[in-house]
């Protein structure tokens, strides 16, 4: 976790966001092997500030996964507050979010960090199950579905996350979503 837990209060603090974004941007632009001194110098903060955000340099990637997930949850809660949510809206939000953070998601994909993606799709599970009226006890089926969507994202990432493909991805993901019951119900 980042220094202390990522709370709504910290995410509303513009100074925290600016510093965290700078740390992550420089870290991902350089490499995992950058020193704390070099990192602090490049973003123009003290070493202690970097350590305030991350306990060790090795913690930056897992911390980033948590940071992205928290930002995703906040953004998703805003669209979920709408009166009528559709599967297409959920998928468009997800792919647009990934596109906006594509540099960081490339690092997560390169490191085979599937957990951040799985956690994102765990947040989407309840609304998708409700919209599609899936029966109870479909956890295993949903894991297979999430893996299929993650594979779409991985292919998209291999092509450097082109924005033009978002609509195509949404169509492919909608097909997987709408046919989930027929394709995967026997798995449960």
* Predicted local confidence at residue 34, as pLDDT: 75
Question: Do 32 and 61 form a contact (C-beta atoms < 8 A)?
Answer: yes
- Which helix (H) or strand (E) covers residue 14, if one does? helix 14-29
- Domain residue extents for the chain: 1-63, 84-188
Q: Closest Cα to residue 180, out of 148, 158, 157, 154?
A: 148
- Walking along the chain (188 residues) 10 residues at a time, the average pLDDT comes out as 53 76 74 75 86 74 73 84 81 91 76 79 86 80 89 90 92 91 73
* Predicted local confidence at residue 31, as pLDDT: 57
Tell me the CA end-to-end span of the chain in Å, nearest whole number.
34
Read off the DSSP letter of residue 119: H
Question: Do 117 and 153 form a contact (C-beta atoms < 8 A)?
Answer: yes
Torsion angle, CA of 61/65/67/70, rounded to 10 degrees? Answer: -170
Q: Is the pTM of this model over 0.85?
A: no
* Predicted local confidence at residue 158, as pLDDT: 87
């Amino acid at each position: 976790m980042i220094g202390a837990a990522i709370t709504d209060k910290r995410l509303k603090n513009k100074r925290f966001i600016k510093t965290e974004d700078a740390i992550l941007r420089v870290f991902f632009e350089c490499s995992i092997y950058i020193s704390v001194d070099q990192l602090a110098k490049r973003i123009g903060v003290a070493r202690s500030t970097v350590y305030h955000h991350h306990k060790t340099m090795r913690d930056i990637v897992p911390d980033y996964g948590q940071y992205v997930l928290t930002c995703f949850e906040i953004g998703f809660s805003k669209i979920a507050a709408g009166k009528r949510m559709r599967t297409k809206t959920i998928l468009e939000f997800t792919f647009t979010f990934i596109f906006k953070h594509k540099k960081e998601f490339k690092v997560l994909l390169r490191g085979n960090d599937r957990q951040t993606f799985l956690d994102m799709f765990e947040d989407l599970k309840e609304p998708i199950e409700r919209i599609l009226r899936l029966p109870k006890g479909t956890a295993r089926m949903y894991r297979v579905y999430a893996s299929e969507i993650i594979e779409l994202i991985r292919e998209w990432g291999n092509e450097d996350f082109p924005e033009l493909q978002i609509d195509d991805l949404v169509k492919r993901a909608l097909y997987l979503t709408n046919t989930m019951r027929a394709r995967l119900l026997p798995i449960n």
